[in-house]
C-alpha cells in the first residue's frame, strides 16, 4: 500500500508537467507578404508536416496556416508554403485496390519541409496517413516526384506493382548535367538518396548554387555511470511448501553499473530509449516453525541471498519544461544470477530423536529473472535521478511454488554525450 501511494503521488506531482509540456517555443521567423517577422514559434519537431503553426510576435500569439505565410524557420526546421498537386493514392498494402489509378488533389497549399534549396530544390512532406512525398522545384515550378503502387491481376493472381516515374522525371531535370542523368535509373526513393543527387546536381551547375541544405539527422547518444540504493522484498506462494506464508526480511543495498540513452529523432527530445547494465544483490531471511506439542516440532530457517547482473531496457518520456525536466519510464528487465547462497536450515524433533541439517532451497533455483519496471524522475542536463519500482518473477524453477520480488529504490546517473543529433 505504501509503494502504491508513493507512485500515485509521483504521477499526481507530474500531472501539471504533462498538461503543459506540449509547448516548445523557440526563436524563429515567419515570412508574410514578403516581410520577415521575428518572434517565437512552437517547435514540435514535426514528424508529419504541420498544417498550422503557433507564432508569438509583436501582435501576440497567432495561429498561421500555409495560406497565411510564405515560409517559417525555427531551430533546424525550415518550411516553405507551396501550391502543389498532391498524390493522395493509398500506399499501405491493405488499402490498395485492384486496377485503381492514382488519385490527386490539385492546387492544394501545404507547408513543405526544405531539404535542399538551390538551382534545383528538394522538399518533403509526410502526410497524416504516413505517406512520404518528395517535391522538386526549378524555375519557380514545384512538382511531386511520382511513385505509384497498384494491384493488378496477372494469370489469375493479384500482384503488387510499383511504378517509379520519378526516375524519368529526374532525368528531365538533370538534362543539363550528363553525369547525373546517366545514373537516374539507380536513384532510390529515400530522403538521403534524393538529397544527395539534388545536392550533386546543384554542384554540377555551379559552386555556389546551394542556398540551404538540411543537416543529416542523427540520434543523440549518451553513456555514463549509475549508482543507486533500494529495498528488495520477497513473497512466495504455494499450497503445500513451507516457504510460502513466511515473512521474509527486506534487503537494502546499493546498485551500480552503466546507463546508455538514445534520443529518438523528430520528437524534440521527448522520447528516449534508455538501457542500463548493472549489478545488484539481496540477502533475506525467513523462519518457519510448526509445533505439534512440546515434544514434536519442525523448525526451518531460509537464507535467501543472490547477486545479479541485470540488463534493463526502457522507454522514457521527457517533459520539455525548463531546465529541470520530469520524465516517466516503463520497460522490462532481464537478470542473470551470478552468485547465490540459497540454503534451508532445518530441525525436526520427534520426542527423543532430532534430525537437523542444511539443504539447497527447492533443490535448486532458476538463474534467470524477468521484471516489469516503472519509474519517474527528473533530468538536469546530463544528470538524471529516478524513483524506480520493479516487480520480478523470482527464482523458483517449479510451477507449484511461485516467487515474486519487488524492488523500490532511487537511481542516479551522469551521462556523457557520445554523438549529437544534427
Q: What is the mean pLDDT of residues 267-296?
A: 91
Residue 128's pLDDT is: 92
Residue 280 above 70 pLDDT?
A: yes
Residue 5's pLDDT is: 52
Residue 208 or 58, more confident: 58
Burial of 366 (0-12, 13-18, 19+ CB in 10 A): middle
- Name residue 277's beta-bridge partners: 258, 311
Residue 155's pLDDT is: 83
Residue 419 pLDDT grade (very low, low, confident, very high; cuts 50, 70, 90): low
Residue 141's pLDDT is: 95
Residue 388 or 15, more confident: 388
Cβ atoms 199, 191 nearer than 8 A: no
Structural domains of the chain, ranges and CATH numbers in brackets: 76-213 (no CATH), 220-417 (2.40.128)
How many whole angstroms separate alpha carbon 165 and alpha carbon 144? 10
Residue 208's pLDDT is: 75
Residue 32 above 90 pLDDT?
A: yes
Q: What is the mean pLDDT of residues 304-329?
A: 92
Residue 210's pLDDT is: 82
Between the alpha carbon of residue 274 and those of residues 127, 156, 415, the distances in Å are: 29, 50, 11
Query: What average pLDDT does the chain have?
Result: 89
DSSP-assigned letters across all residues of 277-316? EEEEEEEEEEEEEEEEETTEEEEEEEEEEEEEEEEEEEEE
Amino acid at each position: 500500500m505504501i509503494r502504491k501511494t508513493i507512485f500515485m503521488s509521483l504521477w499526481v506531482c507530474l500531472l501539471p508537467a504533462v498538461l503543459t509540456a506540449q509547448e516548445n517555443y523557440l526563436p524563429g521567423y515567419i515570412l508574410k507578404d514578403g516581410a520577415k517577422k521575428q518572434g517565437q514559434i512552437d517547435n514540435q519537431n514535426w514528424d508529419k508536416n504541420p498544417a498550422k503553426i503557433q507564432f508569438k510576435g509583436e501582435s501576440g500569439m497567432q495561429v498561421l496556416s500555409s495560406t497565411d505565410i510564405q515560409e517559417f524557420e525555427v531551430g533546424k526546421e525550415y518550411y516553405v508554403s507551396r501550391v502543389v498537386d498532391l498524390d493522395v493514392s493509398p500506399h499501405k498494402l491493405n488499402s490498395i485496390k485492384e486496377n485503381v489509378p492514382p488519385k490527386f488533389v490539385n492546387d492544394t497549399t501545404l507547408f513543405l519541409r526544405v531539404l535542399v534549396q538551390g538551382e534545383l530544390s528538394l522538399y518533403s512532406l509526410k502526410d497524416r496517413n504516413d505517406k512520404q512525398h518528395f517535391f522538386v522545384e526549378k524555375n519557380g515550378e514545384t512538382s511531386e516526384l511520382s511513385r505509384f503502387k497498384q494491384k493488378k491481376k496477372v494469370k489469375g493472381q493479384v500482384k503488387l506493382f510499383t511504378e517509379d516515374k520519378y526516375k524519368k522525371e529526374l532525368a528531365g531535370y538533370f538534362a543539363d548535367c550528363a553525369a547525373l542523368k546517366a545514373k537516374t535509373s539507380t536513384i532510390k526513393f529515400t530522403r538521403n538518396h534524393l538529397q544527395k543527387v539534388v545536392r550533386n546536381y546543384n554542384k554540377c551547375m555551379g559552386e555556389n548554387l546551394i542556398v540551404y541544405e538540411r543537416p543529416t539527422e542523427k540520434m543523440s547518444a549518451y553513456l555514463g555511470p549509475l549508482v543507486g540504493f533500494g529495498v528488495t522484498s520477497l513473497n512466495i506462494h504455494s499450497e503445500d511448501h513451507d516457504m510460502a506464508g513466511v515473512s521474509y526480511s527486506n534487503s537494502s543495498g546499493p546498485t551500480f553499473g552503466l546507463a546508455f540513452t538514445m534520443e529518438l529523432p523528430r520528437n524534440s527530445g521527448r522520447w528516449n530509449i534508455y538501457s542500463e547494465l548493472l549489478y545488484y544483490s539481496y540477502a533475506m531471511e525467513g523462519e518457519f516453525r510448526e509445533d505439534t506439542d512440546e515434544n514434536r516440532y519442525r523448525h526451518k530457517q531460509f537464507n535467501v541471498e543472490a547477486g545479479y547482473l541485470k540488463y534493463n531496457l526502457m522507454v522514457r518520456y521527457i517533459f520539455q519544461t525548463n531546465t529541470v525536466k520530469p520524465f516517466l519510464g516503463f520497460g522490462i528487465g532481464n537478470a542473470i544470477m551470478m552468485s547465490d547462497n540459497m540454503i534451508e536450515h532445518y530441525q525436526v524433533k520427534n520426542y527423543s530423536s532430532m534430525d537437523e541439517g542444511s539443504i539447497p532451497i527447492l533443490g535448486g533455483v532458476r538463474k534467470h529473472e524477468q521484471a516489469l519496471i516503472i519509474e519517474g524522475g527528473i533530468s538536469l542536463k546530463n544528470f538524471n535521478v529516478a524513483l524506480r519500482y520493479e516487480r520480478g518473477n523470482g527464482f523458483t524453477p517449479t510451477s507449484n511454488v511461485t516467487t515474486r520480488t519487488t524492488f523500490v529504490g532511487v537511481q542516479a546517473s551522469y551521462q556523457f554525450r557520445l554523438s549529437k543529433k544534427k
